[in-house]
Amino acid sequence: MEPFIKAGLVLITLILGSVPVHAGPVAIPQVNMDGSPYEGMVSEVHGEGSQRYWIFRPAAPGRYPVVVLIHGWAATEPIFYMAWIRHLVGDGRIVVYPRYQNLLDTSSENFTENTAYAVRKSLGDLDGEFDGRLYIAGHSAGGIIAVNLAARGDIPKPVAVLSIQPGDSEGGRKLQNLSKIPGDVILVVMAGDADTITGTADSHRIMRMTPQIPSGRKIFLLVQSDRTLVADHLSPFAVSDEYGLLVDNLDYSGYWKVLDILINLEDDTLTSADMDELTGMGTWDDGRPVKRMRIIT
């Protein structure tokens, strides 16, 4: 069975069974907790099938940065990352969620094209609300699509790209010419030390294929498991922070925090980032530090 299909089926089983994953004491969440997570967000959906996309925006009128959040294989509905979406919108960002596949029946050859279409259409829908700052984040197959999008010339240049547990590129075949990513784009690749589905092969490959991006704008972070926190392939999924379903400190102090830092960088370069803050994962309730992320060189 293809790894992505296996991951999708496992995830669906977990969701339908309401099985809490990675439960237990966690570090202090670094997340916007002001008000109810269900308040202050409006959503809309456009298109059909593999060209459907959702837009989630703050209820207050204004101009906001846009985050394109690209799902993993078979995670075709926003519910799989809804807690992360609510966090982003609560912090004043618009989230675009493209569904680039019709569950399991879309050829992967069309994934990047379908996503690029959704990005172009959604930014047109957001005329007057998009402030010009674009960020792309993708998980699993979405991590491959995220870097592919940045190498294209048919969408606005992103400020930063976050590729989480990217794979499987089939030895690079599914990756476009990543040397076309502009050298002033910030690139962060993240992998999990317990990810047995995509591992780190494509994370390393993406770093090698982008020599035009200087070290001050590019970094590879390895998220480390610790106690009940397991940095496996399901760990970036975030269904509900209210009920603790697939949400824990790997999200709050890991994936979410890294994207927040990228969005809030003052000079759009990693040289201004606090590396201790970037790699730190907070502390357990007994005062011991959670294993911090490792910088892979």
Grouped pLDDT means (10 residues each) for the chain, 297 residues = 45 44 40 47 95 96 97 95 96 97 78 97 95 98 98 96 97 97 98 98 98 96 97 96 86 97 90 93 95 97
* pLDDT number for residue 227: 96
* pLDDT number for residue 106: 62
Of the chain, the end-to-end C-alpha distance in Å amounts to 32
Per-domain boundaries in the chain? 3-22+41-295
* pLDDT number for residue 294: 98
* pLDDT number for residue 7: 46
CA distances from 201 to 57, 85, 178, 220, 237 (A): 35, 28, 16, 12, 21
* pLDDT number for residue 170: 94
Instruction: Please state which CATH number belongs to domain 3-22+41-295.
Output: 3.40.50.1820
